[in-house]
Structure 1
Amino acid sequence: MKNILFIISLLTGTAALGQSYSDSIVTYRKKYIEELLAEKRQPIKPADAGKISFFPPDVTYRVIAEVRETPGSTPFMIPTHSGKQKPFREYCTLTFTVKGQQYTLHAYQGIDLVKDTVYKDHLFIPFRDRTNYDQTYGGGRYIDLSIKDISAGRILLDLNKSYNPYCAYAEGFNCPIPPNENTLPIEIPVGEKTFVH
């Protein structure tokens, strides 16, 4: 019963605040663009912010994922679009259901980032899907989660919040390339679309 109440509270959280789900995503996107423009190494110019586009919000892709932690996982290097490599380790796997089919994504922690108190609970999920090179950036997209949001072995995974790496906007960034294990065999038609230069 406790787990059921937890799931209901996660899925209805925005309604409790008097805001529709679509409105909450619009608000989230505005903040996302503001933070993007506020970055010290601005990947885009303010004049180009209007070129950032998204799929319509779809609550179907806001799901509860089962979390399976993988303690003691071996650190490994993820190549980046610049040719460099960054050290990561798998923290857990996230298993979820979309339109009746079950899928799994792997969530990672940056070895260098966990030393920073700001990022010690950060979970990084780079992924590919069948919209890449067509409707979305060919190099895949990212999702950010927090270890603090895991409760009773579950976490809210909102694919509507998937976003482009900086490499989708400009060159000169070290953007991790999603490992093959994070390639979804379906289209994820939510989140950020290809940035049109």
Structure 2
Amino acid sequence: MKPKTILLLAVLIVIVAAVTYTLTATEDPEDYIESIEDERERQFKFIRFNVDSPLTEEQKNNFTELKFYPIDPKYKVIARMVPIENKKVRNVPMTDGTTERYIEHSYAEFTIDNIPLRLLLLQDVNESDKRNFFVAFADDTSTEETYGGGRYINARQTGKNSITIDFNLAYNPYCAYNTDYACPIPPRENLLNIPIYAGEKNYEE
């Protein structure tokens, strides 16, 4: 076999391997939807049955479902992490007037429908896994279709400078169900000026 032919075959093998990797590494849409549905079912069971649920026993007796937007993959984004050079601890206000301490770690920059967006990534001062982050946000659905005090996302760093933010997994704070609970208020940096039609809707008794 001629050297040129060997080289062409080698290149072809590399291309095929790359394409195969891309196809297998990409999440299957059906698997993704199923994973979100499973998580929503887990949320429902926790709220309905768990002893640590924010619902009172009377609320549990009348509780039949959590309401969500339809699952939309466009709301799962891979954001670029922009580190905050001078990290500091922020006393995040709670709904009862107290505060909780979080580290201002970095910003997550991404686009939805070609609109550039940015969220402040906070990290609990006691977080042991430094790839986990807390995102509290509000958007143009807040007080209308979703809880007026904002919603939360547990986000995880997925690359050296990237993080996955899945708005389909946005959930309500405990105070959305029971005002006896105190919840972190979204920082001003995380008040998005677009509607996010994803994740959990407002709780209605």
Category of TM-score, reference length = shorter chain: 0.7 to 0.9
Q: Which of the residues 10, 27, 33 maps onto 2:38?
A: 27
**Residues 37-75 of structure 1: CA distance to partner in whole angstroms, max 9, x if unpaired?**
565432125434424110111111111101122254121
Aligned counterparts of 1:90 and 1:67: Cα–Cα separation in 2: 12
1:75 — aligned with what?
A: 89
Q: What TM-score comes out, normalization by structure 1 length?
A: 0.82
Q: Counterparts in 2 of 1:1-197, with a 5 A limit?
A: 12-15=26-29, 19-37=30-48, 39-44=50-55, 45-111=59-125, 113-114=126-127, 117=128, 121-146=131-156, 149-197=157-205
Aligned counterparts of 1:93 and 1:179: Cα–Cα separation in 2: 12
Secondary structure, counterpart of 1:175 in structure 2:
coil
Contact 1:67–1:92 (Cα < 8 Å) also in 2:
yes
Q: What TM-score comes out, normalization by structure 2 length?
A: 0.79
Q: What letter corresponds to residue 188 of structure 2 in structure 1?
A: N
Contact 2:49–2:60 (Cα < 8 Å) also in 1:
no
**What is the deviation of 1:21?**
3.0
Contact 1:142–1:164 (Cα < 8 Å) also in 2:
yes
Percent identity for Structure 1 against Structure 2: 31
Contact 1:14–1:24 (Cα < 8 Å) also in 2:
no
Contact 1:33–1:49 (Cα < 8 Å) also in 2:
no
Q: Which structure would you say has the larger RCO, counting Cα contacts within 8 Å and 6 or more residues apart?
A: 1
Aligned counterparts of 1:120 and 1:169: Cα–Cα separation in 2: 30
Aligned counterparts of 1:193 and 1:185: Cα–Cα separation in 2: 18
Contact 1:10–1:156 (Cα < 8 Å) also in 2:
no
| RMSD over equivalenced CA pairs, Å | 2.5
**What is the deviation of 1:150?**
2.7
Aligned counterparts of 2:24 and 2:117: Cα–Cα separation in 1: 20
Secondary structure, counterpart of 1:50 in structure 2:
coil
Consecutive unaligned residues of structure 2, counting only runs of 5 or more, are 1-17
Which structure has the larger Rg?
2
Contact 2:145–2:202 (Cα < 8 Å) also in 1:
yes
